[in-house]
Structure formats: C-alpha cells, structure tokens
Amino acid sequence: MPTVILISGAGGFLGSQLAAKLQEATPDAKLILVDIVAPNVDKTDDVLPLQSDLTDPNQCDKLFETNFGIPETVYCMHGIMSRGSEDNFDLGIKVNVDSVRNLLESTRNHCPASGPPIKFIFTSSLAVYGGPLPDVIQPNTIATPESAYGMGKLTSELFINEYTRRGFVDGRILRLPTVVVRPGKPSNATSAFFSGIIREPLQGLESVCPIGNSIDSPDLDLAVWVASPSTTIINLAHAREVPASKILSHTRVICLPGFTTTVREELLALEAVGGKQALQFVRFQDDPTNRRVVSSWPARFDNSYGLGLGFSVDEGGMEPLVRQFVRSLGL
C-alpha cells in the first residue's frame, strides 16, 4: 500500500514547496493537496489537488474519503497569517483555531483501529511567545502570546497535545522561525517585511521597512529568529520521519532550529549581494502596530532539542539566505 500524505495549505508558500519536496523524496507516496484556493498542480495518479474550506467540518471529513485512502500523515499548514489575524480577529480564530480543530477531529475519527495513529504535523510559530522572556528560549519556556495569531496557534497546540496524550493522533508541533527570503508576493504576515526588504529591492522594486525611520536608526538592531526556505522544507519533511518515542510525551512542541539576525544585518546582506543601489529601494516608514507585534517575538532559542531529533539548521548567517533567493529567481 502506498503511503498517503495530506497537506492543508498546499496552495501556500510552504505547503506547495513541501509537496514538491515530498514528490521528489518519497516518489511512492500519494499526496492529497488541499487549500481554499485550488492548489496549482495537475491531478495525477499520485497527486490529488482539492479545493476545500476547512472551516467546514464536512469538507474536512471528505479529505479522508478519497480513493487515495486514509493518510498516514496529515500536515496541517493552512492558516491566516499574523497581520491578517490581528486585523480580522474573527477570521483568525475561525481558521487558526476552529478549522484546525475540525481537521484534528476528522483525523482522529479516521485513525485506523489498529496500528499507530495518524501523524498530525502542525506548523506553529514563535508568535506563541510574548511578555517577559529569558534571553534564550528553552523547550520548557512558557508561551504567553501577545497577538491573536500567537494565541490561535497556542490554542491549537494545546488540542494537539491532548489528542496525542489520548492516543487519538500522533501530534508533532513545529514552531517555525520566520522564513526568509519568502518568494512571490508579500504575505499578510507581520513579519512579511523581513523578506520584503530583500526580495523587492533585488528585483528593482520599492519595499517599505516598518521598523525605524532611516538607515541610521538604532531601531534596525531589532533581532529576529529566522530560517531559510530550503532548510524549513527539509525540516518539515523530516518531521514525519522522527520516531514518535523520541519526541517528549508531555509536549509535542519542537522549536525548529534557526539563527538570530537583525534588520540591520539583513540590509547589510542585501547590500553585499545587490550592491548599494539595491538599498535605495528600501523606504523607511515606522509602523507602531507592526513594531509592537514583531518586538514581542523572541529572537534566540536553544537549538539543541531540535538538532538532537535530526532537524537541520542554516549555516553562515544572512548572506547565504539572500543568495539562495537570488538563485531561486534564476539570476
């Protein structure tokens, strides 16, 4: 029997890249790719793209009734990003909490009567942290979010932990660093500018930096915890390979490895790769809401638990991430 893997949010940035990675790394697998916006892939014998609104429990159930059979892994990656959740509280809760619970419940109800439960891999975020924090986040640091997005992610995490404790699913909760450089159009994430200030200038387009009012501003020392798209996708694929027994039982949370950079270091990396002219496409316009949310996120984590589970980390700081983006443009 082929392995069946379901990815929600498969029309998005990470979901679509994960689907491509799994097709390459596990060619025998069958993929069910679901998103509220139809995933931009062809239907084949091994790939089933579906358009579904997962806020509807019936549509979640239908994902387990396709002719591909019951998935052995569900990647729950759909969602409303941070600024979107902050600006539209009700939509954020409906998608980031209610629909995750719908998918979790459908997964539970379709788990085979015998054998291991379905792996339920959830993409959470460092936005679950807020308030006074230690200099370095440890696996046992308590999460006290200060945004609707972080609160929604943490709420879903609690459900997944409990469903795992009861044996309903095998939950694996990945708290992702901010992924840079994100290709394509700007997202509605509060963190979108961390990619935008590199992506747009390298293509000769203006980008607004919402932190600080000039290149000399001390505000540019704002630190952020990041990972590259390629390392993030490797880690998402790895998450289903980790033996269940190796993950702590009282919490299924794993902070994916990352590294600390600052807005200033990003701009220096932009200049190193794109030259001084690239910097001129960055326009500074301080945004207090954006600054408040981003500043509440931690920027230093202890990577040892994630590395011990076999997850990967980027090496060499920001510049390789900028070069990775340039390569993705085919430049």
Ligand X SMILES: NC(=O)c1ccc[n+]([C@@H]2O[C@H](COP(=O)([O-])OP(=O)(O)OC[C@H]3O[C@@H](n4cnc5c(N)ncnc54)[C@H](O)[C@@H]3O)[C@@H](O)[C@H]2O)c1
Q: State yes or no: residue 264 binds ligand X (CB under 6 A).
A: no
Q: State yes or no: residue 155 binds ligand X (CB under 6 A).
A: no
Sole binder of ligand X in the list 73, 85, 106, 125 (CB under 6 A): 125
Q: Which stretch binds ligand X (CB under 6 A): 22-30, 48-56, 113-121, 274-282?
A: 48-56
Q: What number of CA atoms fall less than 13 Å from residue 237's CA on the CB side?
A: 19
Sole binder of ligand X in the list 4, 5, 6, 12 (CB under 6 A): 12
Sole binder of ligand X in the list 6, 7, 30, 79 (CB under 6 A): 79
Among this protein's residues, is 305 annotated catalytic? no
Sole binder of ligand X in the list 54, 118, 198, 309 (CB under 6 A): 54
Q: Taking the CB of residue 44, how many other CB atoms lie within 10 A of it?
A: 11
Nearer to ligand X, 217 or 295 (CB): 295
Using Cβ positions, the residue closest to ligand X within the complex turns out to be 12
Dihedral over Cα of 302, 306, 310, 314: its sign = negative
Residue 106 tokens read as 């459908």
Q: State yes or no: residue 55 binds ligand X (CB under 6 A).
A: yes
Q: State yes or no: residue 99 binds ligand X (CB under 6 A).
A: yes
169 and 160 Cβ atoms separated by less than 8 Å: yes
The conformation of residue 142, written as its DSSP 8-state character, comes to P
Q: State yes or no: residue 78 binds ligand X (CB under 6 A).
A: yes
- Name the residue with tokens 């992610």: 153
Q: State yes or no: residue 266 binds ligand X (CB under 6 A).
A: no
Q: Which stretch binds ligand X (CB under 6 A): 7-15, 111-119, 165-173, 303-311?
A: 7-15
Q: How far apart are CA 220 and CA 302, in angstroms?
A: 24
Please choose, from the candidates 326, 180, 157, the residue with its C-alpha nearest in 3D space to the C-alpha of residue 260. 180
DSSP letter string over 215-263? TT-GGGG-EEEEE-HHHHHHHHHHHTTS-GGGS-SS--EEE---EEEEH
Q: From the candidates 75, 129, 149, 163, which is the catalytic residue?
A: 149
7 and 78 Cβ atoms separated by less than 8 Å: no
Please choose, from the candidates 229, 227, 217, 226, the residue with its C-alpha nearest in 3D space to the C-alpha of residue 291. 217
Q: Which stretch binds ligand X (CB under 6 A): 78-86, 140-148, 214-222, 311-319?
A: 78-86
The contact pattern for ligand X, residues 168-197, with x = CB under 6 A and - = no contact, is --------x-xx--x----x----------
CB of 29 to ligand X, least distance (A): 20
Q: Where are the beta strands (DSSP E) in the chain?
A: 4-8, 30-35, 47-51, 73-76, 119-125, 170-176, 178-179, 207-209, 223-227, 253-255, 259-262, 282-284
Nearer to ligand X, 217 or 324 (CB): 324
Q: Which stretch binds ligand X (CB under 6 A): 20-28, 72-80, 138-146, 157-165?
A: 72-80
Catalytic site residues? Answer: 149
Q: Which positions lie near ligand X, rule CB under 6 A?
A: 8-9, 11-15, 35-37, 53-55, 77-79, 81, 95, 99, 123, 125, 176, 178-179, 182, 187
